[in-house]
Amino acid sequence: MATTWIKPLHVTKTMTKSVAVAAIIDYVQNPQKTDNGRLITSYACDSRSADDEFLLSKSEYEKNTSRSQGRRDVIAYHIRQSFKPGEVTPEEANEIGNKLAMSFTKGRHAFVVCTHIDKAHIHNHIIFNSTSLDYKRKFKNFFWSSMAIRRISDLLCAEHGLSVIENPKPSKEGYDDWLGENKTPTYKEVLKQKIDDVLPSCSTFEDFLSALKSAGYTVKENRKHISFLAPGQKKPTRMKSLGEDYSEAAIRARLGIVKVRTGGGDSGTKNRVNLLVDIQDKIREGKGAGYTQWAKIFNIKETAKTLIFLKENGIDSYEDLVKKSSSASGDFTNLTKRIREIEARQKEISELQKQIGTYGKTRDIYEKYRKSGWDRGFYDIHAADIILHRAAKKYFDELGMKKLPSINQLKQEYGTLASELKTLYGEYHKLKAVSRELSVARANAERILGITPDAQSRDASRAQTPHDTHNI
């Protein structure tokens, strides 16, 4: 069982072609990792001079084609193949790595396979030249290259009697993610978990930042970024690098704050109605007299804000507040459901477009393979295309598709959904703010009027006669 990924190698501002290719090959051929070079094999090049041979082929390519991509040029491609601990020998891993490289490149590119044994898991590093052996073309990294590599690797593992991951989920995760609970969590993962832990107790964005500071994080703010530095961490983590669910806008949304910081203070939340403080609970928690005095003043101000909010919105009874709060909550739930449906359908359309494209590009090869009588030699040469074609066919079968929709139809549907989604997102933020304000106002009204917010009391309030109605 193996996990795989592929990565293109480029020149950088500080590294020329010769330095870049030499650096990666020197790393993968490290004697301490490859049993003093015993676990290094190569194809169409000498592993000891592979970097020079790769560069020579590129100069010949430029002479033959008069093409030069400069800094955008891909020097080589790096494939890593990691095996489950204790399941494969170094020699067998190297053999599998060679077969994987040969099958994926179809024997058209020189490559070096280095098997590393310095970790608990044996793993291969495969470096193959982006320039073909005839110096006439360059390898083009296609969209589903990672899937093709994984499928070839899985087939090779099965042939060698190794276990294979069933129904793998597409991802960009590495070996640590594959190990699941046995991996060491990253600083980002720990930070996201800490954010989830502290958010329920926060009511403002400032409370959130203070909670992280109390948890030991150093918080740095400027006009463009907010970053967090954990104890022992060398480089701070920018908030925007945590993903959409943990961006500043997302955190503010989870706190019920719509307006995003623009470099100044949080003026957009000053007049927002906040929940009243349960002073008795705070006293039981051990809060001092100073806190009690602050809480009393806070509650007076929030009560006034609540009453102003109710008057501005034409709400003069508790029953009317309950009705509007429930209605807004229901509307927000329905809107959220529709947004999720559109996002899911857009994802389906994108996947379907990719699969249709792959199916069309590989159809001729697969038809020739079928007409060859499923010839093994033909399969070895065109394994990647055949695997991709079968995967696309399986995808359509699972959807029960008899006739494929046109790409233009899918593009039109996607565009229509995108337009609707844009409109709904605008309504989403407005409705979420309204729903939150009404929910908080309702909770405050229940505290002010001494109403227990349980099902029975609410049912009873609905059944009251007009003269029993709670006026606010």
Q: In whole angstroms, how far apart are CA 374 and each of 56, 359, 361, 368?
A: 38, 18, 19, 9
Q: Summarize the confidence of residues 178-202 as an average pLDDT.
A: 69
Higher-confidence position of 281 and 219 = 219
Q: Is 34 helix (H, G, I), strand (E, B) or coil?
A: coil
Name the percent of the chain lying above pLDDT 90.
Answer: 17
The pLDDT, as a whole number, for residue 402 is: 84
Residue 312 has pLDDT above 70, yes or no: yes
Q: What is the pLDDT of residue 261?
A: 36
Check if the beta carbon of residue 208 is closer than 8 Å to that of residue 198: yes
What DSSP line would sit under 417-430, residue for residue? HHHHHHHHHHHHHH
155 pLDDT higher than 80: yes
- Residue 13 and residue 211: Cα distance in Å, rounded? 40
CA 146 to chain centre: 17
Q: Is the dihedral of CA 290, 292, 298, 300 positive or negative?
A: negative
24-63 pLDDT, tens digit per residue, is 888 899 888 898 889 999 998 888 778 878 888 888 888 8
Report pLDDT for 258: 40
Q: What is the mean pLDDT of the chain?
A: 80
pLDDT of 111 reads 94
Over residues 220-249, mean pLDDT: 84
Confidence label for 245 from pLDDT (cuts 50, 70 and 90): low
Which pLDDT does position 192 carry in this prediction?
Answer: 84
Confidence band, pLDDT 50/70/90 cuts, at residue 65: confident
| Residue (of 81, 397, 364) closest to 372 by Cα position | 364
Contact indicator for 150, 167 with CB cutoff of 8 Å: no
| DSSP-derived 3-state class of residue 471 | strand
Mean pLDDT, to the nearest integer, of 199-227? 84
3-state secondary structure of 454: coil
Q: Residue 259 has what pLDDT?
A: 40
Integer CA distances (angstroms), 220 to 190, 202, 228, 239, 286, in order: 18, 19, 6, 10, 32
Contact 397, 378 (CB under 8 A): no
User: What are the distances in angstroms from CA 214 to CA 194, 210, 211, 405, 432?
Assistant: 11, 6, 5, 55, 29
* 169-173, 176-180, 226-230 — most confident range: 226-230
Is pLDDT of 266 > 80? no
Q: For residues 457 and 158, which has the higher predicted lDDT (pLDDT)?
A: 158
pLDDT number for residue 113: 96
The sign of the torsion formed by the CA atoms of 177, 181, 185, 188 equals positive
Phi-psi sector, 269: left (phi>0), alpha (psi -120 to 50), beta: alpha
Q: How far apart are CA 325 and CA 441, in angstroms?
A: 9
The answer to whether residue 176 scores a pLDDT higher than 60 is no
CB 79 within 8 A of CB 100: yes
| Mean pLDDT of the region 245-265 | 58
On the question of pLDDT at 291 being above 70, the answer is no
**In terms of residues, how long is the chain?**
472
Average pLDDT for 107-127: 91
Q: Which of 24-38, 67-81, 324-338, 356-370 is least confident?
A: 67-81
Q: How confident is the model at residue 363 (pLDDT cuts 50, 70, 90)?
A: very high
**Structure confidence at residue 26 (pLDDT):** 85
Token reading at 88:
């494969």
Answer whether 342's CB lies under 8 Å from 421's CB: yes
The predicted pLDDT at position 282 comes to 62
Q: What is the mean pLDDT of residues 308-318?
A: 85
Q: Which residue has the tokens 């463009």?
A: 224
Residue 144 has pLDDT above 80, yes or no: no
Kindly compute the dihedral angle of the four CA atoms of residues 366, 1, 39, 184, in this order, to the nearest 10 degrees. Answer: 130
pLDDT at 124: 93
- Please state, in angstroms and rounded to a whole number, the distance separating the CA atoms of residues 110 and 25: 13
Q: Are 21 and 9 in contact (CB under 8 A)?
A: yes
Tens digit of each residue's pLDDT (9 = 90 or more) over 319-351: 888 898 889 888 988 988 998 899 889 888 988
Q: What is the mean pLDDT of residues 154-173?
A: 68
Please give the full DSSP string across 315-328, using - where no structure is assigned: --BHHHHHHHHHHH
Average pLDDT over residues 93-111: 93
Sequence-ordered list of residues with C-beta below 8 angstroms from that of 58, at least 6 positions apart, any chain: 17, 73, 75, 130, 131
At residue 272 the predicted structure's pLDDT band, cuts being 50, 70 and 90, is low
Q: What pLDDT sits at residue 457?
A: 46
